[in-house]
Amino acid sequence: MSASVRSMSLTVCRAATVAYRAFNPATRSLRSRGFIESTEEFRFVERLVPPSRIPTPPKHEGPAPSGWIPPSATPPSLPYMIRRSRMHNVPVYSDIKHGNQHSTLLRKIEGDIWALNKDVKEFLLGLTGKEPPTQVNEITGTIRIKGLFDKELKDRLLKKGF
Amino acid sequence: MFRATLAICGRTVAKRFISSLSGESALPSNLRLPPNLIGVAPQKRAFPSSSDLPVLRRCEADIPAHLAPAQTWLESLGSRDSEPLGVVDLHPDVFSVPLRLDILHAVEVWQRNFKRISHAKVKSRAEVSGGGRKPWNQKGSGRARHGSIRSPLWRGGGVAHGPRGPSSYYYMLPMKVRVQGLKIALTAKLAQDYLHIVDSLEIPTPDPHYLLDLVKHRQWGDSVLIVDVGDEFPQNILKVTEDMKTVNIIPAIGLNVHSMLKHESLVLTLEAVKFLEKKLLWHDVRYAPLYPFKLPYSDLP
């Protein structure tokens, strides 16, 4: 008698809970509340994710409007080669130490680095009238020149087609 | 000692003959080496230099205009005496970089030390048991003045500047330096004739003697590192390399400079070459990370 009363009260409680959950707007499932689930809008998130690779610049015949000059399609027929940096620029950099020691760094050199060294020295002799001291590092493929010549060297290398 | 000198003599003789007879078989036919000679100089098969051989694999990435791809033979593990199947192209920015031994050394030292945690710890004078009380009066006893029996001057006392607790030797080399180290190691293996490209790792028997015999016959060296991509390897090769100390197999993501230097010879499958080229060349054209590369970008390799 008491067991049947208990079981009856349990079923009544369970029915009441289910009915409460179905009719209470906070606990009804999303679909029954009138929402449509869709994953197509994820493309708006995907297009915000940035790329990791630096894009190759579009083909320009001659200088671009910004002043950037592309490397020549065929590498110049010299015993050395100077690659572009990863941002497609000529790898000539200016450096200062202790506020008064200026130098120019020429990086990413492949091939006969001493031929390039001679070339650079001759060019700067013609430009300034004296031969600047240079430091050639064969292992890393760099040349460090005393003095600030980055603009002139960049123009010279661009004219050569590097 | 006699055998060692004979080995050295044999090697120098062989080297001289290799240099004079380019393109033909390295050792002359009337040279008789004793059967117990240790370390016969490997007879180099001439590198594919002629351009009329059909290239079985070209590089996917663009090669700079002033560089030519490195070429090597494509071999097969199917039978001991199989001839090379053909020639494959390897990207010069991965397999012909300038050999910076200083970078290689730096990466190898980093690999050894960055995981190191030294647990050496000794007790200082504060931690050694006892020594709280002044042993004798400052003045009057005639002995030297001391404050505790556990000072570093005393026998049984604490150590003044000893190792203190677990200390870590963790440091990270820049990502690009580590990548360059891998490229240099691959270049070195190719340049020293220790790199072998294989089409797949299928071997006919799970017998370890077959692989050892093959390695010895082809003169690949004392130890071989086999690299393939993915998590599924053929059962035969796994069984064979399981109990062997000198021939080891690793997935391509596990390739590292220390393993490459430890093993004499490196065997890559074509998929492993493709994977390595893709992953290593990406570092030459990537931006600096906006957020760590562990998080998603739209075009990670």
Q: Give the mean pLDDT of chain B.
A: 89
Domain contains B242 = yes
Biggest alpha carbon–alpha carbon distance for chain B: 101
φ, ψ of residue B175 in degrees (nearest 5): -55, -40
- Over the stretch A3-26, which tens digit does the pLDDT of each residue have? 788 888 888 888 888 777 777 767
Of the two residues B111 and B37, the one the predictor is more confident about is B111
Domain contains B181 = yes
* DSSP 8-state secondary structure symbol assigned to residue B286: B
> For testing the chain A interface, which of B103, B282, B298, B299 should be mutated: the one with the most A CBs within 10 Å?
B298
- The domain that holds B255 is classified in CATH as 3.40.1370.10
Q: Chain B residues with CB inside 8 Å of A83's CB?
A: 64
Grade residue B14 by pLDDT with cuts at 50, 70 and 90: very low
Domain contains B38 = no
* Mean pLDDT, residues B111-119 taken together: 97
Closest CA to B246 of B268, B221, B219, B210: B221
Nearest-Cα distance to chain A for B56, in Å, is 26
Amino acid at B259: S
Tokens of B248: 């080891």
Structural domain boundaries, residue B229: 66-108+175-285
Of the two residues B265 and A9, the one the predictor is more confident about is B265
Grade residue B4 by pLDDT with cuts at 50, 70 and 90: very low
Q: Do A52 and B287 touch (CB under 8 A)?
A: yes
Of the two residues B226 and A13, the one the predictor is more confident about is B226
pLDDT at B5: 45
Q: Do B298 and A46 touch (CB under 8 A)?
A: yes
Grade residue B265 by pLDDT with cuts at 50, 70 and 90: very high
- Over the stretch B193-225, which tens digit does the pLDDT of each residue have? 999 999 999 999 999 999 999 999 998 989 999
The correct answer on CATH 3.40.50.300 for the domain covering A82-160 is no
Domain contains B247 = yes
Nearest by CB to residue A50, choosing from B64, B66, B297, is: B297
Nearest by CB to residue A52, choosing from B64, B284, B299, is: B299
Of the two residues A141 and A35, the one the predictor is more confident about is A141
Q: Do A75 and B66 touch (CB under 8 A)?
A: yes
- Give the Cβ contact number of residue B178 at 10 Å: 18
pTM: 0.82
* DSSP 8-state secondary structure symbol assigned to residue B151: S
- Over the stretch B21-62, which tens digit does the pLDDT of each residue have? 444 557 788 887 776 676 666 666 666 665 677 899 999 999
Cα(B295)–Cα(B195) distance, rounded to whole angstroms? Answer: 34
- Over the stretch B137-183, which tens digit does the pLDDT of each residue have? 999 999 999 999 999 999 999 999 999 999 999 999 999 999 999 99
Q: How many residues would you count in chain A?
A: 162
* Mean pLDDT, residues A108-131 taken together: 96
Cα(B202)–Cα(A33) distance, rounded to whole angstroms? Answer: 58
Closest CA to B46 of B25, B27, B32: B25
* Mean pLDDT, residues B66-92 taken together: 93
Grade residue A83 by pLDDT with cuts at 50, 70 and 90: very high
> For testing the chain A interface, which of B287, B294, B300 should be mutated: the one with the most A CBs within 10 Å?
B287
pLDDT at A63: 94
Tokens of B199: 């089409």
Of the two residues B33 and B185, the one the predictor is more confident about is B185
Q: Is the pLDDT of residue B20 over 50?
A: no
Q: Chain B residues with CB inside 8 Å of A53's CB?
A: 282, 285-287, 299
Closest CA to B169 of B127, B223, B114, B224: B114
Q: Chain A residues with CB inside 8 Å of B296's CB?
A: 49
Q: For chain A, say whether B102 makes contact (Cβ under 8 Å).
A: yes
Q: Do A54 and B300 touch (CB under 8 A)?
A: no
Cα(B35)–Cα(B225) distance, rounded to whole angstroms? Answer: 28
Of the two residues B276 and B35, the one the predictor is more confident about is B276
Nearest-Cα distance to chain A for B261, in Å, is 21
Structural domain spans, chain A = 82-160
Of the two residues B9 and A120, the one the predictor is more confident about is A120
Report the domain count for chain B.
1
Per DSSP, the three-state class of B269 is strand
Of the two residues B48 and B248, the one the predictor is more confident about is B248
